Amino acid sequence: MSIKKISKIQPESFEFYKENLQVANNEIKKYPKDRKASAVLALLYLVQRQNDNWIPLAAIKYVARLLDIPYIQVYEVSTFYSMFNLSPVGKYFVQVCTTTPCMIRGANKIVGVCKKYITKNQNELSENKLCSWVEVECLGACVNAPVMQINQDYFEDLDENKTEEIIQKLLEDKLPTPGSVKNRKNTAPEKGKTTLLQVKNA
Ligand code: FES
């Protein structure tokens, strides 16, 4: 597991955009008035989506104020969960699964492509600051291994060439189409159904 890096360069302030503030208030309303803290994960997730995939310290203070809880309580949550980034990861954050099923199916080659095109080391921004990559544990899509996650989307059944195409698009500030690069539907067999043939929509 990589150590969580806290950015030395921090914006002085953070506020939700109007529409995100509305979403945040709706999240807060889901809980009793004296239990507003329960919305902390939802609000941190929203911060990250608004702020190119990372949470500045000013946003942690802002969320604490919205929830009427101490700053340290939000800080604890944001440092605990690995899905929260506390330093810039770029507009496109690439997470490559390197757990056993993905490793057996070629995750090393996917890592190699990231090293070649994004940066030699994980947790560093690409030269144009658009992208970074990191190795992660199982993303829960082993049946479509090898897999990588870019922001909220999964890219599955990868090989070296397809990964190169995807990464190059990211570096040109274009988001490629997510899903299986072999165009399989979800986790269906590559050559079509083999069981439950008589059941419609199975
Ligand atoms: S091992 Fe890679 S998604 Fe599970």
Pocket (CB within 6 angstroms of ligand 1): 97, 99, 101-102, 138-142, 145, 147
Q: What sign for the dihedral angle of Cα 14, 18, 21, 23?
A: negative
pLDDT recorded at residue 202: 65
Residue 150 in contact with residue 98, Cβ under 8 Å? no
Using a cut of 0.75, tell me whether the model's pTM lies above it. yes
Spans in the chain with pLDDT lower than 70? 1-3, 202
Q: Which of 105, 111, 138 to mutate to test the pocket of ligand 1 (most atoms within 8 A of CB)?
A: 138
